[in-house]
Copies of this chain bind each other. A is one copy, B any other.
């Protein structure tokens, strides 16, 4: 199979508008799953299309041979919506290559990355007639809408999906050509609170000054969660279980490309802000947060309406690190809000979804195998990083299947995942094939 053949297959895969969140695309989501079924069958794996209450899960396994490890390769074939579509340089589902870079929705997140693993396996089978390990592909269609049905699927198929380790390429490389192993993810705890004051919106002239303003109380409560100068979280007990960064992590991250500069450039903020005593990587990967995700009160339209809104709403999420417990954190934040809420309003706190952090040892046998594969593929020493986001199913692999996940990123910082002009360099796609082949060999040792 030539490089052009491989690109043709990726383009065919990318042309499915497999947008999982929009019912109107359910047919294309299913067509895309069937494309994978056909692909797996043609390369000699045993494909299975599993229905769920949502979009189907595609599983494909090599003919199992006893006495060798089993590697589960996870990915997703669904993609994000494409709005605002007019900001795309070329149509999102008509892949093109410009300057060696593939532009299409799903190019990097996640079709390009998972097809690299699929074609790596195909190539190994074609050239060597066999694989060094047993392989199970698990490619789901609901990652972009929260993988709601995947944990129950893992539980229901725990035996059939038994494996020694999971490999995923759905994370980032710290920079072009820099091999990157992600060994940790933050957890999450969400809550929403509402401050209720008067029974209805009040005239701010007639009543202003005589009653508490729920929006003002909400702002004061929120302000008390985090120190405006030091960036320290002020919720009692919140940081008690935070595991300090280990020396090797801190010194490793100091050798990464300048994180502050990259962050300024990526976000467009006028200046950085974060917890005193930590750099940008540490703040985002190894320190917890309390962030407002949304808030609203009173009149938000054009011009002015001089009311005291009867209530104010604030949505908060906390990103959590080892060894914080999300349920305990929710309780602490709720207690803090209740303790500081004045008697002039009523406070309602509604806990939301939670997820545990994930952390593996990158120097374990599997971790070393991943590092070796990255080193031989890219020809340089792999960077060991954590990431700030949460991928709940990674925790599910640990909790349900009892195995670690090797997160071998192929996405670049400017890949525009979830945004217009999503892209994936041809070089990264080809590196993905080599990485897969090297990884399976390393894991067979």
B284 to A299, Cβ gap below 8 A?
A: no
Residues from chain B with Cβ under 8 Å of A223 in the complex: 216, 219-220, 223
Most B C-beta atoms less than 10 A away, residue of A199, A273, A283, A418: A273
Residues from chain B with Cβ under 8 Å of A387 in the complex: 205-206
> How many of A's residues come within 8 Å of B, CB to CB?
81
Within 8 A of B (CB), among A410-432: 418-419
Residues from chain B with Cβ under 8 Å of A418 in the complex: 203
Given the complex of chains A and B, what is the CA–CA distance between A283 and B211 in angstroms? 9
A101 at the interface (CB under 8 A from B): no
B307 to A209, Cβ gap below 8 A?
A: no
When A216-B292, A295-B296, A295-B297 are in contact, do A275 and B209 touch as well, CB less than 8 Å? yes
A125 at the interface (CB under 8 A from B): no
Most B C-beta atoms less than 10 A away, residue of A288, A305, A317: A317
When A209-B284, A268-B198, A319-B209 are in contact, do A289 and B353 touch as well, CB less than 8 Å? no
Stretch of A186-194, A365-373, A437-445 on the interface side? A186-194
Stretch of A56-64, A103-111, A338-346, A398-406 on the interface side? A338-346
Report A239-271 CB contacts with B as 1/0, cut-off 8 Å.
Answer: 000000000000000000000000100011111
When A209-B287, A319-B205 are in contact, do A344 and B273 touch as well, CB less than 8 Å? yes
Residues from chain B with Cβ under 8 Å of A344 in the complex: 269-273
B317 to A204, Cβ gap below 8 A?
A: yes
A306 to B317, Cβ gap below 8 A?
A: yes
A207 to B267, Cβ gap below 8 A?
A: yes
A267 to B219, Cβ gap below 8 A?
A: no
Q: Which of B186, B197, B303, B304 has a CB less than 8 Å from the CB of A205?
A: B186
A292 to B213, Cβ gap below 8 A?
A: yes
Given the complex of chains A and B, what is the CA–CA distance between A143 and B288 in angstroms? 53
Stretch of A71-79, A91-99, A308-316 on the interface side? A308-316
Residues from chain B with Cβ under 8 Å of A27 in the complex: none
Given the complex of chains A and B, what is the CA–CA distance between A388 and B345 in angstroms? 22
A273 to B342, Cβ gap below 8 A?
A: yes
Name the distance in Å between A431's Cβ and chain B's nearest Cβ. 22
A291 to B210, Cβ gap below 8 A?
A: no
Name the distance in Å between A362's Cβ and chain B's nearest Cβ. 20
B291 to A300, Cβ gap below 8 A?
A: no
A390 at the interface (CB under 8 A from B): yes
A54 at the interface (CB under 8 A from B): no
Given the complex of chains A and B, what is the CA–CA distance between A267 and B353 in angstroms? 34
A294 at the interface (CB under 8 A from B): yes
A345 to B269, Cβ gap below 8 A?
A: yes
Residues from chain B with Cβ under 8 Å of A12 in the complex: none
Given the complex of chains A and B, what is the CA–CA distance between A237 and B198 in angstroms? 30
A177 at the interface (CB under 8 A from B): no
A293 at the interface (CB under 8 A from B): yes
Given the complex of chains A and B, what is the CA–CA distance between A202 and B266 in angstroms? 10
Given the complex of chains A and B, what is the CA–CA distance between A272 and B210 in angstroms? 7
B206 to A388, Cβ gap below 8 A?
A: yes
Using A216-B226, A294-B299 as known contacts, list a sample of 17 further A-B pairs with CB atoms less than 8 Å apart, ordered by residue number in A.
A186-B205, A199-B267, A200-B268, A204-B291, A207-B263, A209-B287, A210-B263, A210-B388, A211-B263, A215-B294, A219-B220, A219-B295, A269-B344, A293-B299, A295-B300, A295-B312, A296-B297
